[in-house]
Structure 1
Amino acid sequence: MKHIVLLLTYCFLSFSSMAQVFDIEGHRGSRGLMPENTIPAFKRALDLGVTTLEMDVCISKDLQVVVSHEPYMSALYVSKPDGSPVTKEEESNYNLFKMTYSEIKQFDTGKRGNERFPEQQKMAVHKPLLVETIQACEAYIKEKGLQPVRYNIEIKSEESEYGISQPKTVEVFSDLVYKVIIRHLPADRVILQSFDFNVLKYWHSQILNKQYQNIALSALVEKLDAQATFSALGFLPSYYSPYFKILTKEEVQFCHDKQVKVVPWTINTVEEMKQTKALGVDGLISDYPNRAKDL
């Protein structure tokens, strides 16, 4: 009996320790170091010991879930199939929702690098599917003997873009994403985030109605404080994820009093990481997980 009690105590302490690990999320994988939202970027983040891979998803014309921050080809770093750069004027011509995935795959997203991130390694790479990303990362974790990580998946959605650069409804968009997630990952290793509260409200209702498994929801905001966010949502999300500069210690405590975790974005200098961590946040999102790993 004594041995059983000791074993249960050990398991409880181990679980508590795991639950309290400061969450380092690799933004778009490791955008400061590798081409964003690509499989090499996610593998680099895994090598650096992140606890969560953060990524964005859009939808192609043939209803594939594509890992991409913009629903178009960005002039900042994308090259056309002939090797020439996409220009700012051409961006709207390359709407992912109007392109099949086979067409999307022909565009390079890493050869040119990104002038905003001079440390980023240049390489030939393309926008992957969400399913390919999960499979590649899970295989890499197994191959390297790494600890399992969570996937923080952002649905890139704006009301003004419904039916233009994304499906007409958040229901269709969400269902496409959910089907990929639930086929390949356990629900407790996924966070679903969005700036579009219509998306979060739909996921919340689907979870309540037992149509979706219980996936943690994260409210992304740029200027909205926590109280206003929770009022607008009509429920308490698992995470409040604001732009880091709007956070205060009192705001973090307000969330914690309501059992809501706080994971701000996007923090790239070591000094700002330390200052933000001192507020009592539960984790942070960074383009440079190499700078955050010692926190």
Structure 2
Amino acid sequence: MMNKLKYTGMVLSLLGITFISLNFKTLDKVKGYPFLKIGHRGTRGMMPENTIPSMTKAVEFGSNVVELDVHISKDGQVVVYHDDSFDPNYTLMPDGSEIDPKTRNNYIFYQMNYADIKPFVIGTKKYKPYPLQQNVATYTPLLAELVDSVDRYTKVNKLPKVYYLVEIKADEKKDGINQPAPAEFVKRVMDALAPKKLGDRLIIQSFDKRQLKEVHKSYPKVATGFLIGDAKISVSQHLADMGFTPTFYNPHYSVITAEFMKECHDKKMLVCPWTVNDKADMKRMLNLKVDGVITDFPNYLSEVLK
């Protein structure tokens, strides 16, 4: 398909015809990406988040990208979980009892070995914000294990390989307590993924610019994405602070306007807003020519894209 598109473009150029507009897929194809249907924490709306069942369900629902969050354990393993400690709202103790919220700091991943992390139970406690989540007893996986499982799932089911949008969760104030410094954090992640040979199927994103600077410096061929929650600081200022232009600039969907999209596209960045769960909002994002959508409900996105 790409060769056909390139050939068509060459013919039209020879005829003096120039494209002057973009549909919501064109820029992505120029960059080498398809339109990105991104399952947020897998299929958070339907399955226990950041687990292997959540990721494979996202692929089943049509996602070509699975998004996930990573932390480092005391013994240097890369674990997949959103917060840097167990969330009592949807995680139980190994014996199935409740986690006392007052003791949450006893369960910071960077202060626990993975052998002590894995037995905690995810998926059997009803998570009130997502009443459609299936009850599936599962656990906090390792990043490498998750990638192996998802790639195996796509192969067995004769599906295209997916991209991995890996968010490095970090807070500058917590270095040495809840996470290692950026150089070690990034190296741990990349070392875990090196045997997988993901190539351009890997995208590293973060709210923490330090992590992205480290990726850009040490692994310049790896695609990066900068996350923002609001537009209080301009795009230009953020880029100046980073000292380079990331591949992706991924804001909360409330930030997206036609002007914002033009600015990002003019700077050759792709834009994938988060977390878009309403079908009407998905349609609005598509009309604004986003390059992908991050959603807890990839099944809804697949319906909108039909």
Please confirm whether the aligned pair reaches a TM-score higher than 0.5, indicating the same fold: yes
Partners of 1:98 and 1:90 in 2: how far apart? 14
Is this contact kept in 2: 1:33–1:119, CA < 8 A?
A: yes
Q: Report which stretch shifted further, 215-224 or 23-32.
A: 215-224
Partners of 1:18 and 1:222 in 2: CA distance: 25
Instruction: Indicate whether 1:161 and 2:174 are aligned.
Output: yes
1:218 matched to 2:263? The reply is no
One-letter amino acid of the structure 2 residue matched with residue 10 of structure 1: K
CA-based RMSD of the aligned residues comes to 2.0
- Asked whether 1:121 is paired with 2:134, we answer yes
2:109 aligns with: 96
Contact 1:62 1:101 in 2 (8 A): yes
Asked if 2 retains the 8 angstrom alpha-carbon contact of 1:26 and 1:50, the reply is yes
Unpaired stretches in structure 2, ≥5 consecutive residues:
9-27
Residue 211 of structure 1 aligns with which residue? Answer: none
2:183 equivalent in structure 1 = 171
State the alpha-carbon separation in 2 of the partners of residues 34 and 18 from structure 1.
32
1:286 aligns with 2:295: yes
Secondary structure of 2:219's aligned partner: helix
Structure 2 equivalent of residue 142 of structure 1: 155
Structure 1 pair 232/141, CA: closer, same or farther in 2 (3 Å)?
Answer: same
**In the alignment, which residue of structure 1 is the partner of 2:280?**
271
For residues 24 and 8 of structure 1, the distance between their equivalents in structure 2, rounded to whole angstroms, comes to 19
Match of 1:187 in 2: 199
Q: Determine helix, strand or coil for the equivalent of 2:165.
A: strand
CA distance in 2, matches of 1:46, 1:64: 25
Aligned to 1:228: 237
Q: Distance in 2 between matches of 1:153 and 1:35?
A: 17
Partner of 1:3: none
Contact kept in structure 2, 1:79 and 1:86, CA below 8 Å: yes
Residue 218 (structure 2) pairs with residue 206 (structure 1): yes
Asked if the contact 1:43–1:140 (Cα under 8 Å) also holds between the matched residues in 2, the reply is yes
**1:30 deviation in Å?**
0.5
Residue 16 of structure 1 and its aligned partner are, at CA, apart by 4.7
Any idea what the Cα deviations from partners look like across 1:8-54, whole Å, max 9, x if unmatched?
Answer: 95384699599463211000000000000000000000101111010
Letter of the 1:218 counterpart = G
Give the Cα separation in 1 of the matches to 2:2 and 2:189.
37
CA distance, structure 1, for counterparts of residue 71 and residue 246 of structure 2: 22
Identity %: 36
* Structure 1, gaps ≥5 residues long: 1-6, 209-213
| Cα 1:292/1:9, change in 2 over 3 Å | closer
User: Residue 35 of structure 1 contacts residue 113 of structure 1 at CA under 8 Å; is this kept in 2?
Assistant: no
Count of residues paired in the alignment: 283
Aligned counterpart in structure 1 of residue 267 of structure 2, from 255, 258, 277: 258
Alignment deviations for residues 101-122 of structure 1 (CA, whole Å, 9 cap, x no partner): 1110110011103111000001
> How far 1:187 sits from its partner (Å)?
1.9
Q: Determine if contact 1:37/1:69 at 8 Å carries over to the other structure.
A: yes
Q: Give the superposition deviation at 1:227.
A: 2.2
Partner amino acid, structure 1, of 2:264: C
- Spell out, residue by residue over 1:122-156, the C-alpha distance to the aligned partner (whole angstroms, 9 max, x if none): 11100000011010011111000001110000111
Q: CA-to-partner distance for each residue in 1:182-223, whole Å, 9 max, x for gaps?
A: 211322110000110000011111134xxxxx1100001112
Label 1:9 to 1:29 Cα distance change in 2 as closer, same or farther (>3 A).
closer
Please tell me the residue identity of whatever aligns with 1:53.
V
Candidates 53, 56, 59, aligned match of 1:43: 56
Match of 1:75 among 85, 88, 92: 88
